[in-house]
Amino acid sequence: MKHIISVLVENESGVLSRVSGLFSARGFNIESLTVAPVGDKQTSRITLVTEGDGPIIEQILKQLNKLIPVIQVVNLSEGPHVGRELMLIKVSTDRPQQDKSVRNEIMHIVSIFRAQVVDATPTSLIIEVTGDNDKLHACLAMLEPFGVAEVVRTGQVALARGNRK
Amino acid sequence: MQLTGAEIVVKCLQEQGVSTVFGYPGGAALYIYDEIHKAGKSLTHILSRHEQGALHAADGYARATGRPGVALVTSGPGATNAVTGLATAYMDSIPMVCISAQVPVPLIGNDAFQEVDTVGITRSCTKHNFLVRDVRDLARVLREAFYIATSGRPGPVLVDIPKDVSNTKTEYTPAAGEVSIRSYRPTAKGNQRQVRRAVEMLQAARRPLLYTGGGVILSNGWEELRRLTYALNLPITHTLMGLGAFPAKDRQFLGMLGMHGTYEANMAVSHCDLLVAVGARFDDRVTGKISAFAPHAKIIHIDVDPTSISKNVRVDLPIVGDVRLVLEQINAVIQEEKLDQQPPDRQAWWQEIEQWRKKRGLRFTQGSDVIESQYVIQSLCTLTDGQAIVATDVGQHQMWAAQFYGFQEARNWLTSGGLGTMGYGLPAAMGAQVAFPERQVVVITGDGSIQMNIQELGTCLHYRLPVKIVILNNGFLGMVRQWQELFYESRYAQTDIAVAPDFVKLAESYGALGLRTDRPDEVIPLLRQGLAHPGTVLMDFRVRRESNVYPMVPAGGALQDMLLGELL
Ligand SMILES: Cc1cc2nc3c(=O)[nH]c(=O)nc-3n(C[C@H](O)[C@H](O)[C@H](O)COP(=O)(O)OP(=O)(O)OC[C@H]3O[C@@H](n4cnc5c(N)ncnc54)[C@H](O)[C@@H]3O)c2cc1C
Ligand SMILES: Cc1ncc(C[n+]2csc(CCOP(=O)(O)OP(=O)(O)O)c2C)c(N)n1
């Protein structure tokens, strides 16, 4: 099962490599990892998505807690939470047979997924879509037939719902 | 008060009560060395002959005294030479602070002369490490380094100090109060409900067993452990790292468990109904095949590090806390409820244990022709009354030392268990001898291992350290040869090291006393002579070339399927 783990750390140099080094050294996998300073800039929030059975996740949480600059570790997947990810998709539109109707069809898909076109050139479009994992997959699948040139994703960020920290 | 970084280093060491530093100088460390020179007698510096030696010496000092060991090395090759010493200490949770010099801040990242990414290289073999880019952080970082190294689960901490930082002035304020780090708060006392639960489980058990390890030594908890063991008349076994916590001569002691553990200890683990793990981490050399480890037992685990708990073996009752404090809590409950006055009837369990003990799995026979390694160690134990500080290297001699030197006290046993570092013994013994100039410090080593840090004989002579070196010389990398004999059809690939220096002459060339024998009847007289000599001594015992350590649990096998060897 996938777990979304939220890690609050001191915002000091080297802290990210301590976290990622822990995962590689102990053979835990990281599916995605995002990091940015939060609040007063003294701390950063790392959100990482990992996979493993109960004992492995337990070790991951304990090992993260053991790192000196780690202030708090929460397994968000243990309770209700909201997760979001942002994806940019570049669709190429420079094939000869492509006419206006293709662009229209793409725009239609964009609106179904409440995505946006954030850049357009004669030969390509860049589409921005935000949502949970399923939505991003679905959107990408719909756009694939039009010729997806490049995709980037941020990896998930997430927050627990309600008062849970 | 305005001080340079180098002056602050010396001040902070003195604040921490450090009297001895082990190290080796170089360009980037010159300002710090200059201040150490100026500090004179108030801060002793021991110059090793290789940085690895300095690190192991600081480690041996820490194991023997319980105080953090301090090492100082220069940038680049100085730091890389320190890595094995850090990893050795890290695996065995030894409190140590290593200061490494670094190239000046503006040059960092430029492939400058003698630059390596020391914090990058040492990140995974230290408890924590710091690069100090601003002299204003230096005093705080050094204080945090000592605090982190010595609290919770101890471990080595490295502080990397660029040359320009050591030569920049800043305001220095003496330490005030305890260090506090918001993201690091180790647990000290155990949860009282769980402590009570542990006592109930101990009372209910028919076949309880204490399995204790390095955590008892690290927490200075052996007095409390002994109290508990005697109060409830419990059988007790130690890991390699736990030796000395309980007196080896005592009837309740079953010896070491694990791969080369005693028959009775491994059988007791396999048959107990309650296993109480105290400051031990269920290492694979201890458990063997996990699914067959303590198959009938409920498990209580006392450990300060939550990552140790339920890592390899599922635990029924975890107690996170410092061993000494938790044992104190347990003993208090036992006293309060007067449980020591009506211990449950465990006659049957003790009888079973005595039956296993009768097998005498550590038996050997000393004939009149060839010296047996076990005999040398047994004689050494007798001659020193089990009271010497014993350092070892890694191999067969190490296991025989663990089996045949009956330790009566804690902190007398310096061995690299987790990393298994050949070359550890001699420098570790030096560290202990520096701490205790008057005590008998002995290195038990092999002809392979001793050559891995033999240069430290120079340090012994330089500082007149009367370390006694016992080489069990079998002309082989014996432990590896044993595996080749047992599991690779005796194909001795690259383990014959019979081509060796003349160790007696080698010792003499350093100015030490060298002695040698290959005769069993000379073992005791030669040991006597060596131990009585006031200076550094190297004793070369030519022992049986092909002899195996038994009992032995083949890697990954079940504890109760030990190989017992030719005699049994
Ligand atoms: C050739 C060779 C053969 C070996 N064979 C054997 C063998 O047969 N049997 C054997 O036992 N070992 C053997 N070893 C050693 C083995 O590899 C391990 O090093 C050893 O078993 C670990 O001992 P330990 O469990 O006591 O843990 P340690 O490494 O000593 O760890 C200490 C534990 O205590 C905890 N702790 C530390 N401080 C505190 C505190 N203040 N309060 C509470 N808890 C604390 C730590 O978190 C940790 O979990 C062998 C090694 C070599 C090189
Ligand atoms: C630095 C290092 N390299 C290799 C090993 C692997 N190793 C473990 S025991 C051993 C043989 C040790 O031989 P010796 O010191 O002569 O001791 P003996 O086993 O003969 O008593 C070796 C090579 C090790 N533990 N450490």
Q: How many Å apart are CA B489 and CA B544, to the nearest integer?
A: 20
Could you tell me the pLDDT band of residue A100, with boundaries at 50, 70 and 90? confident
How many whole angstroms separate alpha carbon B490 and alpha carbon B483?
A: 8
CB of B467 closer than 8 Å to CB of B510: no
Supply the CATH number for residue A114's domain: 3.30.70.1150
Q: Among partner residues B120, B128, B310, which is closest to A55 by beta-carbon distance?
A: B310
Give the pLDDT confidence of B171-185 residue by residue, as tens digits: 999 999 899 999 999
Query: Are B416 and B45 contacting, i.e. CB atoms less than 8 angstroms apart?
Result: no
- Mean pLDDT of the B211-226 span: 98
The band of B565, judged by pLDDT with boundaries at 50, 70 and 90, is confident
Ligand 1 environment, Cβ below 6 A? B 92-93, 153, 213-215, 218-219, 239-242, 256-261, 279-281, 283, 285-286, 303-305, 308, 322-323, 394, 398-399, 417-418, 420, 479
Q: What angle do CA A89, A93, A94 make, to 5 degrees?
A: 135
Q: What is the mean pLDDT of residues B121-141?
A: 98
Residues B334-360 have a mean pLDDT of 93
Q: Give a yes or no: residue A164 inside a domain.
A: no
Residue A55 has which token pair?
């004992």
* Two domains, one topology: B192-357 and B373-549: yes
Instruction: Tell me, yes or no, whether A97 and A127 share the same domain.
Output: yes
**Closest ligand 1 atom to B282 CA:** 25
Q: What's the DSSP call for residue A144?
A: G
Q: Is A18 on the interface with B (CB under 8 A)?
A: yes
Element (H or E) spanning B35, and its range? helix B30-39
Given A78, A97, A132, the domain boundary residue is A78
β B537-542/B468-473 pair status:
parallel
User: Using the beta-carbon criterion (under 8 Å), do A62 and B307 form an inter-chain contact?
Assistant: yes
Mean of pLDDT values over B205-215? 98
Residue A25 touches chain B, beta carbons under 8 Å: yes
* Torsion angle of the four alpha carbons B445, B449, B455, B459, in this order, in degrees rounded to the nearest 10: -40
Q: Are A108 and A132 in contact (CB under 8 A)?
A: no
CA distance A110 to A88: 12
Is A13 strand, coil or helix? coil
CATH of span B192-357? 3.40.50.1220
Q: Read off the tokens for B398.
A: 């190490």
Q: Which of A131-135, B274-278, B425-429 has the lowest mean pLDDT?
A: A131-135
How far from A87 is each of A50, A131, A146, B392, CA to CA, in Å?
19, 9, 17, 58
Average pLDDT of the residues in B503-517: 98
Residue position matching structure tokens 């070892």: B392
CA B198 to centroid of chain Cα atoms: 28
pLDDT tens figures, A44-64: 999 999 999 999 999 999 999
SS3 category, A48: strand
In angstroms, how far is CA B86 from the centroid of its own chain? 13
More confident residue, A126 or B565: A126
- Average pLDDT rounded to a whole number, residues B12-24: 98
Provide mean pLDDT across the span B463-486.
98
CA distance readout (Å), B438 to B54, B136, B443, B535, B539? 21, 41, 16, 12, 20
pLDDT tens for each residue of B305-346: 999 998 999 999 999 999 999 999 999 999 999 998 888 889
| A13 within some domain | yes
User: If you count DSSP H runs as helices and E runs as strands, how many of each does chain A have, helices first?
Assistant: 4, 9
Q: Contact, A89 vs B205, CB < 8 A?
A: no
pLDDT at residue B249, as a whole number: 96
pLDDT given at position A163: 82
Tell me if B306 and A71 make a contact (CB, 8 A cut-off).
no
Say whether residue A1 is in contact with chain B using an 8 A CB cutoff: no
pLDDT band at residue A95 using 50, 70 and 90 as cut-offs: low
pLDDT of B105 above 90: yes
Tell me which DSSP letter residue B272 carries. Answer: -
Q: What angle do CA B343, B344, B347 make, to 5 degrees?
A: 105
A28 and A48 both lie in a single domain: yes
Closest C-alpha to ligand 2, atom 5: B422
* Angle at CA of residue B286, ends B280 and B290, nearest 5°: 105
Three-state DSSP string of B291-307: HHCCCCCEEEEEECCHH
Give the DSSP letter string of B520-542: GGGHHHHHHHHHH-SS-EEEEEE
Distance B390 CA to ligand 1 centre (A): 17
| CATH class of domain segment(s) B373-549 | alpha beta
The residues with which B320 forms a beta bridge, in sequence order, are: B303
Q: Is residue A165, in this structure, part of any structural domain at all?
A: no
pLDDT for residue A165 is more than 70 = no
pLDDT for the residue numbered B568: 57
- Report the sign of the C-alpha dihedral through residues A34, A39, A44, A49, in that order: negative
Separation CA A62–CA A84 (nearest Å)? 25
Query: What single-letter amino acid sits at B474?
Result: N
Task: Look at residue A98 and tell me whether its pLDDT is greater than 90.
Answer: no
Residues in chain B: 568
Instruction: Please give the pLDDT value at position A96.
Output: 61
Which two three-digit tokens encode residue B496? 């014959």
Which CATH number does the domain housing residue A19 bear? 3.30.70.260
Does A106 reside within a domain? yes
Query: Mean pLDDT score of chain B, rounded to an integer?
Result: 97
CATH architecture of B2-171: 3-Layer(aba) Sandwich (3.40)
A61 located within any domain: yes
Q: Are residues A23 and A62 in the same domain?
A: yes
Residue showing tokens 């392979």: B448
Ligand 2 nearest-atom number relative to CA B373: 21
Give the three-class secondary structure for B502. Answer: coil
Give me ligand 2 centre to Cα B398, in Å.
Answer: 10
pLDDT surpasses 90 at B554: yes
Within a domain: A128? yes
Q: What is the mean pLDDT of residues B481-507?
A: 97
Residue B205: strand, helix, or coil: coil
Q: What is the pLDDT of residue B567?
A: 62
Phi–psi pair at A70, nearest 5 degrees: -85, 125
Is the pLDDT confidence value at B55 over 80? yes
Q: Show me where the domains of chain B are located.
A: 2-171, 192-357, 373-549
Facing A17 at nearest CB: one of B123, B184, B310? B123
Residue A96 preceded by cis peptide, ω within 30: no
Would residue A30 count as lying in a domain?
Answer: yes
> Number of A:B CB contacts under 8 A?
33
Number of domains in chain A: 2
pLDDT band at A97 (very low <50, low <70, confident <90, very high): low
Residue A127 clears pLDDT 90, i.e. is over it: yes
Q: Is the pLDDT of residue B148 over 90?
A: yes
**Cβ contacts of B503 within 8 Å, gap of 6 or more:** B447, B450, B471, B473, B514, B516, B538, B540
What mean pLDDT comes out for the span B343-372? 94
3-state secondary structure of B62: helix
β partners of residue A101: none
Evaluate whether B94 touches B63 at the Cβ level (below 8 Å). Answer: yes
- Per-residue pLDDT at B395 exceeds 70: yes
**Is pLDDT at B440 greater than 70 in this prediction?**
yes
pLDDT band at residue A93, thresholds of 50, 70 and 90? confident
Q: What is the mean pLDDT of residues B91-107?
A: 98
The amino acid at B89: A
Give the range of the structural domain holding residue A106, as residue numbers without chain letter: 82-159
What residue in B sits closest to A73 (Cα-Cα)?
Answer: B183
Closest by Cα among B14, B13, B89 to B56: B89
Q: Is the pLDDT of residue B436 over 60?
A: yes
CA distance B420 to B397: 13
B514: β partners: B538
Q: What percent of chain B is modeled with pLDDT above 90? A: 96
Query: Which of A32, A61, A78 is a domain's end point?
Result: A78
pLDDT of residue A39: 85
Asked whether residue A104 falls in the same domain as residue A142, the answer is yes
Closest CA to B56 of B344, B432, B324: B432
Atom number, ligand 2, closest to the C-alpha of residue B472: 21
Same domain, A86 and A68: no
CA A116 to chain centroid, in Å, comes to 18
Q: Does A92 lie in the same domain as A34?
A: no
Which residue, of A26, A48, A78, is where some domain finishes?
Answer: A78
pLDDT band at B516 (very low <50, low <70, confident <90, very high): very high
How confident is the model at residue A66, as a pLDDT? 97
ipTM of predicted assembly, 2 dp: 0.91
Q: Is A62 on the interface with B (CB under 8 A)?
A: yes
